[in-house]
C-alpha cells in the first residue's frame, strides 16, 4: 500500500496506534508505539528521535569516544523517517501495524551511523550500475528453558537448553516442541518473513532458519526483524532465544551466512551464471568474488562485530578462519554454489548470528561491487579440502581490536562507506574492546584466584 492507502486502512479499521522500530549500530531494534495521528502527521516531514540510540552500546552505556553525539551535543533529536513500504502486522501482538524506520532526510542527508541508510546508499550504487541485488540471510540460534529474570537470578550460570544432546536435522526434537516450532514458521510467514526452511542444528536446543531471498534491502529488513520476532514468539512459549555467536566453548557457534547474487533489472537473468564456464561462474561473479576476497580484511568488524564473534571463528567449528573461497566448501570463507542458473550464488560464511544484517550485507555488496568496478581478477585458487589449512591468502584477524584497528586505518573502508561511518563504527567497536578489557571473568577467577 502507498501512503494514502495506509492512512485510509488505519482510519477505516479504527486503528489508534502503530509500532515502528529501526536498527541501531549493533542491529538491536529500537522503537516505540505512537498514536495514529502522530504517525500521519509525520509521514511527510519525519519524526524526532533522540540520537542517544547511536550514542550508547547494546547495554545503554554511553560512548565517550564518538563525535556524533554525547554530553557535548546534549543528545538532541534527529530526523527519523518511516518507510511505509515496510508495513506488516504483528500477528502475536493483536495484528498491530508495524513499520521500519531509518535516520534519513528528504534531501538525502542521512545520518552516517544509521545502518539501514548505509545499505540504501550501497544499494543505489548497485542499481545505478544496472544490477538488481538479490540477498538472503540464514541464522542459527540456541533456545533455552529460561527467562530474562531466571538468567539474572542465576547470574547466567547453569543455563538450561531447550532440549538435550546433539541432534541436527532432528524430526523428533521439533515434534517434541511442535507448538513452538510451527508457531515460528507460521507466524513469521504472517509477519512477512517467509522461511525457506526451519530445522534443528547440531547442539542442544539449536534451530536454524533460512529466509527466502529478496531484494537486498528487503532481505536485510527481514533478517533484522527475524531476531526480535523469534525472541518474542519464543517468550510467548516460555522459551528464551539467544543469537550470541558462541555461548559455550564446548558447543558449535551460531552462523548468519549471507547468500547473494546479481540479476538484471527485470530479475529474469542471473548475472552470476554462465553456461560456458566449467563451474557456471560468469566473469561478473568472478570479479564480485575477487572484490570480497580483497576487501575482507578491511571490513571484518562489519561481519564479526562483537568480542564474542571471534570465539566462533576458530578451526574445526564450522566457521572460517582463512581468507579463502571454494566450490561448495563449508570450510572456506566464501562458498560458491552453482547448481543451476536460478540458484548460482555466493555464500559469505564469516557473519555470525550476532551480525547486524544491514552492515553485513552492506559489506558484502560494497566489496563485491568494488571488484566489479575495478575489474579485479580472481587470482586466488579455490580451496580444495580443508580451508583451515589454506593460508596462502592470509588469515582472518582473531580478535575485534585488531580487526577494528585495521578497518579504522583502511583507505578501502573509507572509500566504500565514507570517513564518517568508518570513524563512528570503529570507535564503537573499540569501545566494546575497552569494556571487555576491564572486566574480570570467571575464567580468570578460576585460574588465578588461589594459585597465583
For residue 106, name the pLDDT band (cuts at 50, 70, 90). Answer: low
Does the structure show a pLDDT above 90 at 107? no
Q: Evaluate whether 407 touches 341 at the Cβ level (below 8 Å).
A: no
Q: CA 345 from chain center: how many Å? A: 18
87 and 211 housed in the same domain: no
Mean pLDDT of 89-100: 98
235 assigned to some structural domain:
yes
Judged on CB neighbours under 10 Å (0-12, 13-18, 19+), 419 is exposed
Q: Evaluate whether 18 touches 33 at the Cβ level (below 8 Å).
A: yes
103 assigned to some structural domain:
yes
Q: pLDDT by residue (tens digit) across 354-389?
A: 999 999 999 999 999 999 999 999 999 999 999 999
Helix residue ranges per DSSP H, 28-142: 36-41, 115-128
CA 212 to CA 271: how far, in whole Å?
Answer: 19
106 and 213 housed in the same domain: no
Q: Say what percent of the chain tops pLDDT 70.
A: 99
Q: pLDDT by residue (tens digit) across 383-423?
A: 999 999 999 999 999 999 999 999 999 999 999 999 999 99
Q: pLDDT by residue (tens digit) across 138-193?
A: 999 999 999 999 999 999 999 999 999 999 999 999 999 999 999 999 999 999 99
Does the structure show a pLDDT above 80 at 109? no
For residue 339, name the pLDDT band (cuts at 50, 70, 90). Answer: confident
Query: Which of 78, 111, 144 corresponds to the end of one domain?
Result: 111
Does the structure show a pLDDT above 80 at 272? yes
92 and 33 housed in the same domain: yes
Buried b (16+ CB within 10 A) or exposed e, 221-244: bbbbbbbbbbbebbeebebbbbbb
118 assigned to some structural domain:
no
Mean pLDDT of 198-213: 97
43 and 144 housed in the same domain: no
310 and 412 housed in the same domain: yes
List the beta bridge partners of residue 262: 133
Q: pLDDT by residue (tens digit) across 282-319?
A: 999 999 999 999 999 999 999 999 999 999 999 988 99
58 and 172 housed in the same domain: no
119 assigned to some structural domain:
no
Instruction: Concatenate the DSSP letters of all residues of 400-443 into one string.
Output: HHHHHHHHHT-HHHHHHH-HHHHHHHHHHHHHHHHHHHTPPPHH
Does the structure show a pLDDT above 70 at 108? no
Q: Determine the structural domain holding residue 11 and report its residue range.
A: 3-111
DSSP 325: E
274 and 183 housed in the same domain: yes
404 assigned to some structural domain:
yes
254 and 377 housed in the same domain: yes
116 assigned to some structural domain:
no
Q: pLDDT by residue (tens digit) across 18-49?
A: 999 999 999 999 999 999 999 999 999 999 99
442 assigned to some structural domain:
yes
CATH code, domain carrying 63: 3.10.20.70
Provide the pLDDT for residue 110: 74
168 and 73 housed in the same domain: no
Does the structure show a pLDDT above 90 at 105? no
418 assigned to some structural domain:
yes
Q: Evaluate whether 207 touches 218 at the Cβ level (below 8 Å).
A: no
Output the pTM of the full model.
0.97
Query: Which of 51, 78, 111 corresponds to the end of one domain?
Result: 111
40 and 139 housed in the same domain: no
Provide the pLDDT for residue 279: 94
For residue 137, what is its C-alpha cell? Answer: 540471510
Provide the pLDDT for residue 439: 95
378 and 263 housed in the same domain: yes
For residue 248, name the pLDDT band (cuts at 50, 70, 90). Answer: very high
CA torsion sign for 67, 71, 77, 82 is: positive
Specify the number of domains making up the chain. 2
Q: Say what percent of the chain tops pLDDT 90.
A: 97
150 and 75 housed in the same domain: no
Mean pLDDT estimate for the chain: 96
CATH code, domain carrying 322: 3.30.590.10
Does the structure show a pLDDT above 90 at 242? yes
Beta-carbon count within 10 A of 23 CB: 29
Amino acid at each position: 500500500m502507498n501512503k494514502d492507502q495506509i492512512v485510509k486502512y488505519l482510519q477505516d479499521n479504527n486503528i489508534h496506534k502503530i509500532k515502528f522500530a529501526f536498527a541501531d549500530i549493533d542491529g538491536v531494534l529500537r522503537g516505540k508505539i505512537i498514536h495514529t495521528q502522530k504517525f500521519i502527521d509525520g509521514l511527510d516531514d519525519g519524526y524526532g528521535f533522540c540520537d542517544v540510540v547511536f550514542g550508547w552500546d547494546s547495554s545503554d552505556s554511553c560512548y565517550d569516544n564518538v563525535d556524533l553525539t554525547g554530553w557535548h551535543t546534549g543528545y538532541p533529536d534527529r530526523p527519523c523517517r518511516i518507510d511505509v513500504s515496510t508495513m506488516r502486522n504483528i500477528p502475536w501482538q493483536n495484528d498491530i501495524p508495524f513499520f521500519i524506520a531509518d535516520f534519513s532526510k528528504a534531501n538525502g542527508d542521512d545520518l552516517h551511523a544509521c545502518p539501514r541508510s548505509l545499505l540504501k546508499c550501497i544499494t543505489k550504487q548497485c542499481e545505478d550500475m544496472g544490477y538488481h541485488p538479490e540477498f538472503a540471510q540464514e541464522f542459527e540460534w540456541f533456545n533455552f528453558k529460561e527467562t530474562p529474570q531466571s538468567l539474572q537470578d542465576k547470574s547466567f550460570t547453569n543455563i538450561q537448553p531447550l532440549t538435550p544432546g546433539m541432534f541436527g536435522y532432528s524430526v523428533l526434537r521439533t515434534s517434541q516442541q511442535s507448538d513452538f516450532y510451527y508457531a515460528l514458521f507460521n507466524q513469521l510467514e504472517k509477519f512477512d518473513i517467509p522461511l525457506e526452511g526451519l530445522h534443528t542444528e547440531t547442539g542442544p536446543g539449536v534451530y536454524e532458519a533460512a529466509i527466502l531471498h529478496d531484494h537486498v534491502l528487503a532481505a536485510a529488513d527481514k533478517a533484522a526483524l527475524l531476531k526480535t520476532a523469534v525472541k518474542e514468539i519464543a517468550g510467548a512459549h516460555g522459551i528464551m532465544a539467544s543469537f550470541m555467536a558462541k555461548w559455550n566453548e564446548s558447543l558449535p557457534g551460531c552462523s548468519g551466512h549471507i547468500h547473494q547474487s546479481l540479476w538484471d533489472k527485470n530479475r529474469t537473468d542471473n548475472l552470476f551464471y554462465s553456461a560456458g564456464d566449467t563451474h557456471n561462474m560468469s566473469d561478473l561473479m568472478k570479479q564480485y568474488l575477487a572484490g570480497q576476497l580483497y576487501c575482507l580484511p578491511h571490513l571484518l568488524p562489519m561481519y564479526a562485530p562483537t568480542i564474542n564473534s571471534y570465539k566462533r571463528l576458530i578451526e574445526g567449528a564450522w566457521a572460517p578462519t582463512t581468507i579463502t573461497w571454494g566450490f561448495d566448501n563449508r570450510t572456506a570463507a566464501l562458498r560458491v554454489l552453482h547448481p543451476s542458473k536460478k540458484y548460482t550464488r555466493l555464500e559469505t560464511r564469516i557473519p555470525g548470528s550476532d551480525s547486524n544484517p544491514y552492515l553485513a550485507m552492506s559489506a558484502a555488496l560494497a566489496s563485491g561491487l568494488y571488484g566489479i568496478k575495478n575489474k579485479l581478477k580472481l587470482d586466488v585458487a579455490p580451496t580444495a579440502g580443508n580451508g583451515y589449512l589454506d593460508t596462502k591468502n592470509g588469515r582472518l584477524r582473531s580478535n575485534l581490536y585488531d580487526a577494528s584497528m585495521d578497518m579504522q586505518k583502511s583507505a578501502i573502508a573509507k572509500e566504500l562507506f565514507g570517513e564518517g561511518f568508518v570513524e563512528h563504527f570503529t570507535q564503537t567497536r573499540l569501545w566494546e574492546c575497552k569494556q571487555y578489557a576491564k572486566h574480570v571473568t570467571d575464567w580468570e577467577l578460576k585460574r588465578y584466584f588461589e594459585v597465583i
